[in-house]
Amino acid sequence: MERKSKKNSKSEKTESASKKKKKKNDDTSDPEENEKKINEVKDGSLLHESNTTENNVNNNNNNNNDNNNDNNNDNNNNTYYDNQKNNLLYKKRNRVCPYLRTINRNLLDFDFEKLCSISLSNLHVYACLVCGLYFQGIGKGTHAYTHSLEKNHYVFINLETCKTCCIPEGYEIVDASLNDIKYFLKPTYNKEQVEHLCYNSVLGKSLDGGDFLPGLVGLNNLKNTDYCNVIIQLICSIIPLRNTLLLYECKENIAKNIIVVLSDLIKKIYNPRNFKGVVSPHEFLQAVGIESNKNFKIGTKKYPLDFFLWLLNKIYRHSNKILKKRKLSTLKKKTGNMKRKLEDNEHISKEEKKDVHDKEIYDEMNKLDNTSNKKKEKHKWTYSNINIVDYCFDGELIIKTIKEEGNEESQENLELKFNESDNDSKDYLKNINEEEVEEKNKQKNDYQNIYNNTFLNLIKKNKNYLIVKIPFRTLSLKLPNAPVFKSTTESNIIPQVSIFELLSKFDGETETFLQEHFKIPNTLIISKLPKYLIFTIERFSKNNFFIEKNGTIVNFVIKNLDMKDYVHEDFLSLNPVTKYNLIANIFHTGTVNQGSYKIHVLNQPTNEWYEIEDLHVISILPQLVLLPESCIQLYQRQDVKLNGDI
């Protein structure tokens, strides 16, 4: 039997091989035979054979279908889960949205506070890219869902994550054509882009075809908010402060504070892909009203100097918090690594390992850092690891008063006054060694030691005087009283005064009274010149009945303002650069009640002056900067580079 089965199998193999040969022969047959077969089909002789073959094929297909039905019955239990997986994958796919053409970029405005236009909620807020309105949520029953069904607006963007989605279908839209909208919502910058902005002037173009300069953009006036607009433009002129705000990154899941909102505003001002060419500080002013307990709110007139000092104080405290967090994190990492290294050493016993103090670890860590080969790092700005306010405004004054026996109480009050008002700045002076960059620690420590020694020698020389050293942010200049009488033509005389006459207050010889209730005269002189020098000119004064304005014009210098005569002789060697250039000038026009604040700003890459009044930006000549009634002047030291470094 086995032999017969082997013979049958051999015969089957030979038959299959012969069939394959026949098929090959049929395929390689002559064209004359093929033409004969075609003619026979036309005549109908081969129709019967073709019908029989078709019936056989259909029977085979039916058998296969029966088998497939049996398999489908076995897999019915898994179809439900497969469908769910397919639906999820379908939603996650990058679908081509058919509603992208309905987006209207002219109606988009992301400068307002991110609140739902119906519920006024700030959670999960989406903006409609068709009409520009803000709505909450994207699920069924939410305000955005109902808006999409009522108005046939289907494309929305999340104002926090910048993700776009189609409602009510509920899928995410990933398309390169939406990148300009996302950048308009949240512009981001890296260090290379910021360096490029420092040395080059970039020209932007709005949707209506108008040209604008990023950084010199008009700000919308939201009813008596001109004092805020000029201070924002002034902050943009302070290069180190501007660069830190442009590179500031807010971590997720952190509540927004005034610094985060200010950083977003500065980023929008320097956005070259702005759709409108102007920026509205609505969200920033709302945050200012909340943080200041409605002292600076929309609709009320305030002095720009008060707002500037309040904002500087907020920036100072925030930068201190960030520096402390960085130090703690770095110390934890280094001490942890150091403890591991010490524990791995065999010559240290277990008892000594337990008694290792943090100071000993810190000393060992410094030794390892000095001996180890440091990797080459990229160039860092000197103000990257320092409090930015102290870096820009690090000036110091020396106040000299005569010691008298009957005025001991007033002298003590004088000391307490400066100690209480400048606690933050004195804390900086105490911890200055901690906040300096690692690469320049030795140089700065030497400078600080020399500075302190010269100050101690000054105290020893003047034993009959009480000498107090205080840091300052601004220098106030007092105008002479306006003339009461008119000229012969019965027209008001416009008085003029030189800025050097006003600066004689700081020459160290002119006696002044710091406050009215202090009867002791004082002399003021500068011991340390800051990188950015701010002069404040008091133009408004209160009498018993109303507020009056002093219209005296100050004749000042735009370039090469030399402050050498107002620095103490013993500290001249510590201040090698004493010349300054004007980069911004805030002035007031009009009367007390109906006037407004404007600003003159220097575009340093092109060395051109611009006048900014809310939304209006005009190029002007440098000679026109000297004419208006100045209130705040910002001077930059000549050794400061265009990127804010020294």
- Tell me, what CATH number does 246's domain have? 3.90.70.10
Residue 499 CB neighbour total at 10 angstroms: 16
* Residue at which a domain ends, from 142, 160, 183: 183
Specify if 524 maps to a domain: yes
* pLDDT tens track for 70-121: 544 445 545 544 554 445 444 444 568 888 999 999 999 898 888 999 999 8
Radius of gyration from C-alpha coordinates of the chain: 39
Joined together, the tokens standing for residue 156 give: 């929305």
pTM exceeds cut of 0.85: no
237 and 336 fall within a common domain: no
pLDDT of residue 551: 86
Joined together, the tokens standing for residue 169 give: 């279908």
pLDDT of residue 616: 92
* pLDDT tens track for 530-562: 999 999 998 888 888 888 888 889 999 999 999
Spatial CA neighbour of 286 closest among 308, 266, 265: 265
pLDDT of residue 46: 37
Specify if 585 maps to a domain: yes
Specify if 516 maps to a domain: yes
161 and 247 fall within a common domain: no
479 and 622 fall within a common domain: yes
| Nearest-angstrom CA–CA distance, 26 and 33 | 10
Specify if 248 maps to a domain: yes
Q: Which residues contact 204 (CB under 8 A, 6 or more apart)?
A: 211, 212, 213, 214, 271, 272, 273, 274, 277
Residues of the chain with pLDDT under 70: 1-95, 251-255, 331-380, 382, 404-453, 455-464, 485-492, 515-519
Q: Quick one: which H or E segment has residue 63? A: helix 47-74
| Nearest-angstrom CA–CA distance, 420 and 470 | 11
Specify if 50 maps to a domain: no
DSSP 113: -
Provide the 3-class DSSP secondary structure of residue 125: strand
464 and 591 fall within a common domain: yes
Provide the 3-class DSSP secondary structure of residue 580: strand
pLDDT of residue 458: 66
Is residue 630 within 8 Å of 585, Cβ to Cβ? yes
Is residue 638 within 8 Å of 580, Cβ to Cβ? yes
- Partnered with residue 611 across adjacent β-strands are 600, 618
227 and 328 fall within a common domain: no
193 and 294 fall within a common domain: yes
134 and 158 fall within a common domain: yes
Strands 496-498 and 553-555: parallel
- Partnered with residue 602 across adjacent β-strands are 609
DSSP 473: S
Question: In which domain, by residue range, is 325 found?
Answer: 320-365
pLDDT of residue 566: 93
Joined together, the tokens standing for residue 470 give: 């205080």
288 and 230 fall within a common domain: yes
Encode 247-307 in three state secondary structure: CCCCCCCCCCCHHHHHHHHHHHHCCCCCCCCEECCHHHHHHHHHHCCCCCCCCCCCCHHHH
Is residue 216 within 8 Å of 620, Cβ to Cβ? no
249 and 345 fall within a common domain: no
Joined together, the tokens standing for residue 235 give: 């902050």
For the chain, give me the number of helices (H) and strands (E)? 20, 25
Spatial CA neighbour of 414 closest among 337, 544, 524, 506: 524
Main-chain dihedrals φ then ψ at residue 3, nearest 5 degrees: -65, -40
519 and 554 fall within a common domain: yes
Joined together, the tokens standing for residue 36 give: 């004969």
Is residue 109 within 8 Å of 280, Cβ to Cβ? yes
**Longest C-alpha distance within the chain, in Å?**
147
Which CATH number goes with the domain that contains 142?
Answer: 3.30.40.10
What distance lies between CA 266 and its chain's CA centroid? 6
| Nearest-angstrom CA–CA distance, 585 and 534 | 10
Strands 561-562 and 579-589: antiparallel
Letter for the amino acid at 63? N
Residue 511 CB neighbour total at 10 angstroms: 13
Provide the 3-class DSSP secondary structure of residue 587: strand
Spatial CA neighbour of 275 closest among 339, 178, 207: 207
| Nearest-angstrom CA–CA distance, 643 and 622 | 23
Q: Order the strands of the 164-166 sheet from edge to edge.
A: 134-136, 125-128, 155-158, 164-166, 171-173
DSSP 65-97: HHHHHHHHHHTHHHHHHHHHHHHHHHHHS----
DSSP 376: P
535 and 425 fall within a common domain: yes
| Nearest-angstrom CA–CA distance, 524 and 507 | 7
- Partnered with residue 497 across adjacent β-strands are 554
Q: Quick one: which H or E segment has residue 403? A: none
Residue 527 CB neighbour total at 10 angstroms: 21
| Nearest-angstrom CA–CA distance, 463 and 456 | 11
Spatial CA neighbour of 520 closest among 591, 613, 414: 414
Residue 70 CB neighbour total at 10 angstroms: 9
Specify if 376 maps to a domain: no
DSSP 458: H
pLDDT of residue 434: 43
pLDDT of residue 281: 92
Specify if 436 maps to a domain: no
* Residue at which a domain ends, from 138, 168, 183: 183
327 and 263 fall within a common domain: no
pLDDT of residue 420: 45
Tokens 């008060």 sit on residue: 306
Specify if 646 maps to a domain: no
| Nearest-angstrom CA–CA distance, 631 and 303 | 10
| Nearest-angstrom CA–CA distance, 407 and 510 | 20
Domain count for the chain: 4
